[in-house]
Amino acid sequence: MPEAPVPHDGPRHREHLVVPPSWWLLTLGFAFTLVVAVGAYLNLQFGAAVAVLCLLAIGIAFWAYGHTLLAADDRGIRVDHSLVEWPWISSVEVLDRSQVHDAMGPGSVATAWFVTRPYVKEAVKVVLDDPADPHPFWLVSSRHPERIAAVAAQHLTRTAPTTQEP
């Protein structure tokens, strides 16, 4: 019997990182170029068939590449099928375009886990607090990183260890 869904009583954020319309327009331009080039060389029907096949292949690739789910809820932060739960997160930082560029540049950490997209300029840096995890942090593109940070701020204050005075 399947498990019942866990009710969400706290703040949450969910977004899909899909490729922008400009990429689709460039693909249509490429397909038109194929129709003209192959159609002029062989025939128009063959050129159209080649263009349709290329559009289909590129469309599948765009969907696979651009269908990235990013969510923050009561359980933790999820990127597609990967989940890190709140007890294993020490902080979440919002990074702007220049900070993302620096984090991915020559001084980047090779063991970090990157899920970045060139068409999304901002990101969140999820710093992990798990000695068994080989990744010190996740760097994830987001169109709304401040929303993820707000969800994290509420959950991290709830899961923070309480210190007792002697």
pTM assigned to the model:
0.77
CA distance 45 to 52: 11
The pLDDT score that the predictor gives to residue 92 is 96
- pLDDT tens readout for residues 87-121: 999 999 999 999 999 999 888 899 999 999 999 99
CA distance 164 to 39: 77
In 3D space, the residue among 83, 75, 91, 79 whose CA is nearest the CA of residue 128 turns out to be: 91
Q: What is the mean pLDDT of residues 79-90?
A: 94
Any idea what the Cα angle at residue 128 is, between residues 90 and 79, rounded to 5°? 115
The sign of the torsion formed by the CA atoms of 100, 26, 60, 13 equals positive
| φ, ψ at 28 (rounded to 5°) | -65, -40
The pLDDT score that the predictor gives to residue 75 is 93
CA distance 67 to 16: 6
